Chains A and B, each alone.
Chain A
Amino acid sequence: MRKVIMGNHALSYGAMLGRAQVIAAYPITPQTQVVELLSEMCADKILDAKFIKVESEHSAMAACLGASLAGARTFTATSSQGLTLMHELLHWASGGRLPVVMGNINRAMAPGWSIWSDQNDSLSQRDTGWIQFYCSNNQEVLDTVIQAFKVSEKLLIPSMVILDAFTLSHTYEVVDVPKQAKVDKFLPPFKPEITVTPDDPHAFGGLTGPEHYFELRYKLQKDMEKAPALIEETGKEYEKMFGRYLGQVEEHCCDDAELILVTSGTMGSTARVAVDALREEGIKVGNLRIKVFRPFPFEKVRNIFKNAKKVAVIDRNISYGHHGMFFQEVKSAMYGHDHDLPIFGFITGLGGRDITPSTFREIAELSLEKNKPEEEIIWIGVNR
């Protein structure tokens, strides 16, 4: 059924169609509508789930972990300060191999208080062992949640489904909400091999000495390495049933592009508008939107860059004292493969500063007029 819904509700519908069994959440702007709708769905018995209205995000994640260990499919959603409050437990989720799926609305970190979009909240969680999906429209949000359950539960690795504050979370778009029976066919119930139950008592997460810990982390990485192929495979399976394909990346006019603009999240759709306009003027640019940030789609990126002359990575985030984080990753993907490819790193839009087609035009012009980057990072739209 086609519905006009906001990005936040696309997360809720994804969790509903995925038949989340335990939901624990704490309100934070701009995430609130996700859990408001889910709590209504639970109260109205549209969704057969327990909703635990916890007193903090830390407890939201802790409740999800307990429920997941008991064998239930779990979902939560948060943003910014809430996500970073959970930080300890994000490690717990992946280390405990508990496939929680979480929505995160990208919101800048305080101080000063900001409710507007940037990616420093989720990107500063990159080393916690979560799969990270960055979405660019509401349909993708819904479809990603359903696929994230499948991918996470196969690998026993948690997933974060990420969308920009307001530009996606509060923007209404037409979304095809699939039929429950069809989703049930795609996504079987969560049946983990080992759970916390008196019928088969085990101790989970106890004191683990150097003789065991290393191997547990090795296995986590080995399973994480299976994610790219599994995400592609799951995407194809989903496409067969629902007609929409989601992979690790999305490319637009990259084949013959002299300059590829690398983006993530909703920046991607803005970049595409800029790309089309520049193309009309005869400037050969393309857009690569990185959808899956962890595990990083090394192979995809390298393949797409094969014919590129230049790359500009646009980050709505920064690792202070270093670079934008997508920029770091893109460079590391090319290391040992193409040392001569000039890669420019741009920082823009922090704290919700508008990113418009003219932002990308400026970035494209700056990148095209120079042979190689002359600065470590290039700031766009900042008042110095």
Chain B
Amino acid sequence: MSQEKKEKKMTLSLPEEELMGSGHRACQGCGAALAMRYALKALGEKTVLCIPACCWSVIDGPFPYSSLDVPIYHCAFETAAVSASGVKAGLEMVGDTETTVVAWAGDGGTFDIGIQALSGAAERNDDILYVCYDNEAYMNTGIQRSSATPYGAWTTTTPVKHFKNRPKKDMEAIMAAHRIPYIATASVGYPEDLFKKVKKAKDIEGTRFLHIYAPCPPGWRSRSEDTVKLSRMVVQNAIFPLYEIEWGEKYTLNIKLREKKPVDDYLRMQGRFRHLTEKEIAYIQEEVNRKWERLLSLMDRSN
């Protein structure tokens, strides 16, 4: 009786339709796999993906297989944005004006090697949706630091004795400076929020930039079952706040925090931060506080 009652109460907050098959090649607990699965639910079939070199060029599966039911152009590393611009222009010239063309790149392909092409597309306001799934290092090549790697992290090119001593690049600020119609951050720990943002971005014309936090258990030395937990904690401690920016000016905070959690627990769950001393953790906390205050002031200013 009670079982039956429970079942009746179940409602799906995301569409049941799956455009991603189970035969993909992602590692256990891969945040990037979740990001794609949720994003495709919002994008639907009328989508073309342009995927540069990144984990997803492997996750999709080797030739002649693909784990996705949408077409994919596996493009050169530094060309995700402009490949999407080209596909969009080409499709329009052959009479398809409906399809959403998505550049789907990792943090290395976005923050580092692809930033020029991305900046170009954004400045032209090309009609593309750019999604960066961010696992905070070059994971596909074996955990090398990128400019998205946070301060304090170990990677194979920032060994413990010389851990990364520079902050993560502020990609949202860079994109906001291009005055594009839509920028949003999302986390795989908040699938409804992520879904809503992809859906919203899909219907906007011009360059849309979506930055998705996507944990990498092998690269972060975290437990695969902690992926969702980390993806929620990172929002609640304001390391990765969820917000939107419209036309580079109007800031909206999506997950409001009455009191943000300390960063300590989050860092302790990941082997990549294991070497950090109390002093360094205190520094990270200070930086998070400072950035959070800055974000709140941007919210205030735009409202």
Contact = CB atoms under 8 A, between A and B. Distances in A.
A54 B82 CA distance: 8
A52 B45 contact: no
B76 A66 contact: no
Residue among A21, A24, A66, A204 with max Cβ neighbours from chain B (10 Å): A66
A56 to B, nearest CB: 6
B102 to A, nearest CB: 11
Given A203-B63, A206-B57, A22 B93 contact: yes
Interface in B65-112: 65-66, 68-76, 78-79, 82-94, 96, 99
B191 interface: no
Given A201-B71, A202-B71, A208 B62 contact: yes
Interface stretch (A4-12, A57-65, A168-176, A287-295): A57-65
Interface stretch (A67-75, A159-167, A251-259): A67-75
Contact of A56 (B63, B89, B99, B116): B116
Contact of B72 (A50, A62, A204, A212): A204
B90 A71 contact: yes
A62 B76 contact: yes
Nearest to A89: B76
A197 B83 contact: no
B212 to A, nearest CB: 21
A190 to B, nearest CB: 9
Contacts of B162: none
Given A50-B89, A67-B90, A196 B71 contact: yes
Nearest to B103: A66
23 contacts: A21-B93, A52-B82, A52-B85, A52-B124, A52-B126, A55-B116, A56-B117, A58-B79, A59-B82, A62-B86, A66-B73, A66-B86, A67-B86, A67-B89, A70-B89, A201-B71, A202-B66, A202-B71, A202-B72, A203-B60, A203-B68, A207-B57, A207-B63
Given A59-B79, A71-B93, A72-B89, 17 more contacts: A21-B94, A22-B86, A55-B116, A62-B82, A66-B87, A66-B89, A67-B93, A68-B86, A68-B90, A70-B87, A71-B94, A89-B79, A197-B48, A201-B66, A201-B68, A208-B62, A209-B62
